[in-house]
Structures are given as structure tokens and as C-alpha cells.
Amino acid sequence: MTNRGNFVWYELMTSDAQAAESFYSNVVGWGAQDAGVPNMKYTLLTVDSKPVAGMMTTPEGCNTGVESMWAGYITVDDVDQFASRVKDAGGKVSVEPQDIPNVGRFAVVADPQGAPFTLFKPSMDERGDFPTPPTAGTIGWHELMTSNWKDAFGFYSGLFGWTKGEAMDMGPMGTYQIVERHGQMFGAMMNDPEPGASPVWRYYICVDDITSAESRLKAKGGQVLFGPQEVPGGQWILHGRDPQGVFFALVGNRA
């Protein structure tokens, strides 16, 4: 599988998917369509009519470890085998491997520090001609905030073969370690400067203009937590919370 170890899907579990759809469609520019899943409401978020993410209201009594947050799906060629490897490496399986009819097989897991993610084997290996970053609405960066990035890197490297890129000295905040897949950087890991914070993956949604996106998110009831802040490469980032209280991040140019 050429996509092994690659983030290929993103999913919002939230307290109110209908309200979240209105917010993100306005802020990011996503289209939205019903996935047609029997007996449940699952919304596909689209770029040029092609699905790039999904969202649903968190089911009552859900115990996946990813409630009310954005989650990322990482492709593997054998979900059951990788779920066992997660356990053997000190991680946790929150939802045991199971099938999604006509979509694929998945398991919800967490790394040894507690950051959740989803193992996924799609029914079809390749997704075709889908939009890629920095197209608005795609995910342009993946950032693991954790309690021990060195141990976390060892876990993910052992599972997926990820390698280290540049290590950036952030001063009192520590090291910002770039992570690569097949020689291409796609994200980073660092120790969370907030004591006691739960380890989590952050997913940066691309927007055309960070200033305009900031105005839209404020107008739609969102909250800016940090930024906009310029980062190496000339782009700008912003951290926010949507009206349902879920953390999200944006990345884009500034006009």
C-alpha cells in the first residue's frame, strides 16, 4: 500500500454536527453532503465536490477516546495487526477493529502518551485525484502536542517508518521536531508547554487568507486562542475553538 503511514481522512466528533457544519462551511469554505450511511447522520465535507473530511454528532454513550475533537485516520495494510502492534508498543485500543461497509476497516487507538488517532484500511487503496495542500479546505500540517515527543517519535517511527527532519529550537518551549514520510515533511512533534495538558494531534486546515478566515470565525461565534502568527515559510497560523468548544487550527497566506 503506497499510502501506508499517511493521514488520509479527518473526522469531527461534536456535540452538534448541524451547527458545526454551518460554522466550518462559512469559515473554511467546505461544501457539505450527506454520506448516505444507514441509521446514522454522517456529513461529508468537500472541496470541489470531493470529500476531504467528515463530521457527526457524538453518539450517546460513545467511548472512543476522541469525543468532541478532530481525529485523523492513518492508513495501514492490516488494521488488526497494527492494533496489536499499538498495544505491544504501550498504546491503547479504544475501539477494536471493525468494518465500515463499502468504506474500509478501522480501529480507534492512542499512542503511549495518550494521543488518539485512527488506524484505517480503505476498501480501495488509492483515493484518485483529490485536492492537495495548500488548496483551501485540505489539511496542510499535522502537529503532535505531547508529554514526551522523543518517546512518541519512537512509537510512530516504529509503526509507520516516519523519520526526523529538521529540529527547530523554540527556546524555553523546547524542540519542535519536524517529521517526514518518504522524505517529505508533513508535520511535527513537541512537548506541550502547558503542564498537564492531554496529548493530542492538531490538524491545520488550509485557508486562502488567514485574516479573512479570522473575521469569519469571529462572526460565526468562534474564539481565537492564538494568532494569527507568522511561521517559517511565510505562512500564518491561527488556533481557535468552534462554537461547540472544539479546538481547531488554520494555516494560510496573509493578504
Single out the residue in 60, 87, 122 at which a domain terminates: 122
56 & 108 share domain: yes
Distance CA 162, CA 85 (A): 16
Q: How many CB atoms lie within 10 A of CB 173?
A: 12
Among the residue ranges 28-32, 45-49, 57-61, 126-130, the one predicted with the least confidence is 126-130
**Domain tally, the chain:** 2
94 & 160 share domain: no
- In CATH, what number is assigned to the domain containing residue 142? 3.10.180.10
Portion of the chain with pLDDT greater than 70, in percent: 94
113 & 213 share domain: no
Q: Is 126 in a helix, a strand, or coil?
A: coil
Q: How are the residues of the chain apportioned to helix, strand and coil, as percentages rounded to the nearest 5? A: 20, 45, 35
Q: What is the DSSP letter of 136?
A: T
Query: Span 26-30, mean pLDDT?
Result: 98
101 & 152 share domain: no
Query: Span 108-137, mean pLDDT?
Result: 89
Nine-digit cell string for 227: 494568532
pLDDT of residue 204: 98
Q: How many CB atoms lie within 10 A of CB 104?
A: 17
Using the predicted structure, report yes or no on whether residue 63 has a pLDDT greater than 60: no
90 & 176 share domain: no
12 & 113 share domain: yes
87-115 per-position pLDDT tens digit: 999 999 999 999 998 899 999 999 999 99
Single out the residue in 72, 93, 122 at which a domain terminates: 122
161 & 113 share domain: no
pLDDT of residue 55: 96
Query: Span 2-6, mean pLDDT?
Result: 79
Using the predicted structure, report yes or no on whether residue 22 has a pLDDT greater than 70: yes
Which domain range does residue 76 map to? 6-122
Using the predicted structure, report yes or no on whether residue 10 has a pLDDT greater than 90: yes
For the chain, what is the mean pLDDT? Answer: 93
Flag whether 131 is in a domain.
no
Contact by Cβ (8 Å): 199, 111: yes
pLDDT of residue 101: 86
Of the pLDDT bands very low, low, confident and very high (cuts 50, 70, 90), residue 247 is very high
Establish how many alpha carbons lie within 13 A of residue 131's alpha carbon, considering only the half-sphere containing its beta carbon. 20
148 & 198 share domain: yes
Query: Span 178-190, mean pLDDT?
Result: 97
117 & 152 share domain: no
Flag whether 70 is in a domain.
yes
214-241 per-position pLDDT tens digit: 999 999 999 999 999 999 889 999 999 9
Contact by Cβ (8 Å): 140, 133: yes
pLDDT of residue 119: 98
86 & 179 share domain: no
Show Cβ contacts of residue 150 under 8 Å, excluding neighbours closer than 6 positions: none
Which pTM was predicted? 0.94
Contact by Cβ (8 Å): 126, 142: no
Query: Span 131-139, mean pLDDT?
Result: 95
